[in-house]
Amino acid sequence: MADGSMPLWRMTGVSKRYGGVTALDNVDFSCAAARIHAVLGENGAGKSTLIKIIAGVVQPDSGTMELDGRPVTFRSPAEATRAGIVCIFQELSLMPDLTVADNISITRPPGRWGFINPLAQRRRAEELLARLGCEDVHPTELVKNLPLSRRQMIEIAKALGRNPKILILDEATSALTAADVQKVYAVLRKLRDDGLAILYISHRMQEIAELADDCSVFRNGRHIQTFAKGTKNDDEIVELMIGREYKHVYPAKPARAAATEPMVRIENLSWGDRLQDISLAIGRGEIVGLGGLDGQGQRELLLALFGVLRGITGRVTIDGRTQRIGSPRQAKSPAIGMALIPEDRKTEGLMLPMSVRDNASMAAIAALTRGVIVDRKAEAARIDEMIQKLAIKVGDLANPVATLSGGNQQKVVIAKWLMTNARVVLLNDPTRGIDVGTKQEIYQLLRNLADAGTTILFYTTDYDELVGCCDRVAILYDGRILRELKGADITERNIVASALNLPLEARDSRAAAPA
């Protein structure tokens, strides 16, 4: 550690694999009491897995962990909490139907013999909320009636109430108002001075600059380096974060003389505070990537275009005609001709117990129907064509789609949508959790589709894919398009810098300014 004292927490040789994917690879990591320690890394660098292991949510495959010099293992979050490790997760862990006071004292409420003393519990909630400068929240209010920013404050109050030795914050300030953020900072600094170790995960460089004492950078599941704040500038930090080791083979991008006429034009699209004033034009035959850190509105943008979200403002023009898309059913109609390859193929992409055949023809079934009867012959012919085209390895079409491998399942999802002859294809992280070979086939397929005139909007968490596949990349930050990169400006370095809301280097400043 920076000050050389004995670390409060030390883990040695910790690895974790999910199926074929290594999330953490032989990681040594330690943090000291009375320090605020920031953890940095791009998507999939292993930050989440790291804190989940520390907080007892998942168990490491190998390695040892020590708290205060004593070896520990946690089989559940409850055990980690008892040991003094409290984590504020990004996806909140509040119970919406319970009151604020109930939530704050959920595990060890004040009282006796297993009975809760409601008055003491209320006072405790009031004290903790007051510590955070959050007196406007009434302790008997139901959590579900509070806005997200208040819920996040309650989450922090709940964590403080557990008297942690190590407090972990995973993007815990993302929804807070600026005033709240300052209050939380003050509390965190005070806690640090009281001797807590604070692990802080954030993608906001200015937060890290303001708060952290130490920084650790993770990349590809490895701990790259730990350094004291101020010893490296932003550029050097970005340098440490990038540098992917595997490179896929990507099909060549066509050289474009001029921008093609826009097929999809999005103007001032907003949805609550999750999407703000998004404007983006995508040309015919163009592949546009959506980049940025996870959860900046990319998923919502695709859902908004596909008619899943209610209460959208702004305008969407497809092929020169303004469209109000109110449902996926409407989105796929020939007048619009849109397809969405969803994020989670197991819940949104496929009906797992149904056959490969039924899944493949699900979206295009109307075109394969004569009267009310499905034309089995035409259906079989179309499916056969798709299986050839996508090289799907399938034994019997009547088998449940659940029996296929992950890569082949994803190909079935894609086949299902290609059968509708979509003009606009939206993809939400289509290569997550599939093997390298299938990934490359998908890249080639996307390029072939684009060359044939299909318009493609492609969200991926893998920056390498943005660089390799896309003609243009829009980087989202806090529900806005922060920057568009094109041509030679699409580099991993620029993508990471943009995702962190840092300025590009001078030589790269040809990229479009934020809208």
Burial of 353 (0-12, 13-18, 19+ CB in 10 A): exposed
Chain position carrying tokens 């990038």: 242
- C-beta neighbour count of 324 within 10 angstroms: 9
Task: Identify which range of 26-34, 87-95, 494-502, 503-511 contacts another protein by CB under 8 A.
Answer: 87-95
**By the rule CB under 8 A, 101 interacts with another protein:** no
Q: Is 508 in the site for another protein (CB under 8 A)?
A: no
Instruction: Locate 445 and state its tokens.
Output: 């397929």
Least Cβ distance, residue 324 to another protein (angstroms)? 15
Q: Are 271 and 311 in contact (CB under 8 A)?
A: yes
Q: How far apart are the C-alpha atoms of 53 and 98, rounded to whole Å?
A: 28
From the list 32-40, 104-112, 253-261, 360-368, the region that binds another protein by CB under 8 A is 104-112
Q: Which stretch binds another protein (CB under 8 A): 141-149, 174-182, 404-412, 466-474?
A: 141-149
SS3 446: helix
Provide, rounded to whole angstroms, the least separation between the CB of residue 115 and another protein.
Answer: 5
The CA distance from 435 to 431, in Å, is: 8
Near another protein by CB under 8 A: residue from 58, 98, 228, 502: 98
Token representation of residue 188: 């965190």
Compute the least distance from the CB of residue 139 to another protein, in Å.
Answer: 9
Beta carbon of residue 107, minimum distance to another protein (angstroms, whole number): 5
User: Beta partners for 322?
Assistant: 317
Quick note: the x/- pattern for another protein over 313-332, rule CB under 8 A, is --------------x-----
2, 72, 120, 142: which one contacts another protein (CB under 8 A)? 142
Which of these segments, 165-173, 218-226, 300-308, 498-506, binds another protein (CB under 8 A)? 300-308
Segment interacting with another protein (CB under 8 A) among 94-102, 232-240, 397-405, 461-469: 94-102
Helix (H, G, I), strand (E, B) or coil at 189: helix
User: Does position 92 bind another protein by CB under 8 A?
Assistant: yes
Contact 86, 104 (CB under 8 A): no
Binding to another protein by residue 25, rule CB under 8 A?
A: no
Interface pick for another protein out of 20, 96, 254, 503 (rule CB under 8 A):
96
In the complex with another protein, the residue whose CB is nearer, 76 or 399, is 76
Residue 140 C-beta: closest distance to another protein, Å: 5
Identify each DSSP E strand in 460-515 by its residue range: 472-477, 480-486
Q: Among 11-19, 111-119, 357-365, 506-514, which window interacts with another protein (CB under 8 A)? A: 111-119
- What CA–CA distance (Å, rounded) separates 351 from 450? 28
72 contributes a contact to another protein by CB under 8 A: no
Only one of the segments 106-114, 255-263, 408-416, 447-455 lies at the binding site for another protein (rule: CB under 8 A); that segment is 106-114
Is residue 497 classed as helix, strand or coil in its secondary structure? helix
Residue from 2, 34, 57, 378 touching another protein (CB under 8 A): that is 57
CB within 8 Å of 26: residues ≥ 6 apart? 13, 14, 15, 63, 222
The distance of closest approach from Cβ of residue 214 to another protein in the complex, given in angstroms and rounded to an integer, is 26
Q: Which one of residues 2, 187, 205, 309 is an interface residue with another protein (CB under 8 A)? A: 309
Which of 272, 453 has the CB closer to another protein?
272
CA pair distance 337, 470, nearest whole angstrom: 21
Residue 303 interacts with another protein (CB under 8 A): yes or no: yes
158 binds another protein (CB under 8 A): yes
How would you class 130 by CB atoms within 10 Å of its CB: exposed for 0-12, middle for 13-18, buried for 19 or more? exposed
Among 145, 313, 399, 405, binds another protein (CB under 8 A): 145
Which of these, 104, 51, 105, 108, lies nearest to 74 by C-alpha position? 51
Contact range with another protein by CB under 8 A, out of 27-35, 306-314, 315-323, 332-340: 306-314
Q: What is the dihedral of CA 142, 147, 152, 158, to 10 degrees?
A: -10
Should residue 78 be labelled a site residue for another protein when binding is judged by CB under 8 A? yes
475 - beta bridge partners?
291, 483
Q: Are strands 222-228 and 214-219 parallel, antiparallel or unpaired?
A: antiparallel
> Minimum distance between the CB of residue 411 and another protein, rounded to whole angstroms?
23
Interatomic CA distance for residues 443 and 251, integer angstroms = 7
Gap between the Cα atoms of 363 and 485, Å rounded: 33
Q: Which stretch binds another protein (CB under 8 A): 73-81, 212-220, 239-247, 369-377?
A: 73-81
- With contacts defined by CB under 8 A, how many residues of the chain interact with another protein? 40
Q: Report if residue 97 touches another protein, rule: CB under 8 A.
A: yes
Residues 429-458 interacting with another protein (rule: CB under 8 A): none
Pick from 220, 173, 178, 183: which is nearest to 23 by CA?
A: 220
- Nearest distance in Å: CB 215, another protein: 27
Give the CA diameter of the chain.
Answer: 78
502 lies in the binding site for another protein (CB under 8 A): no
Give the integer Cα–Cα distance in Å for 424 and 103. 45
Q: Does 181 bind another protein (CB under 8 A)?
A: no
Residue 348 binds another protein, judged by CB under 8 A: yes
- Nearer of residues 426 and 467 to another protein, judged by Cβ: 426
Strand partners, 116: 111
User: Do the beta carbons of residue 65 and residue 84 sit within 8 Å?
Assistant: no
Please state, in angstroms and rounded to a whole number, the distance separating the CA atoms of residues 79 and 75: 7
Residue 473: name the closest of 351, 300, 292 by CA.
292
Q: Binding residues for another protein, per CB under 8 A?
A: 57, 76-78, 81-82, 89, 92-99, 102, 106-107, 109, 111, 114-116, 118, 138, 140-142, 145, 158, 271-272, 300, 303, 308-311, 327, 348
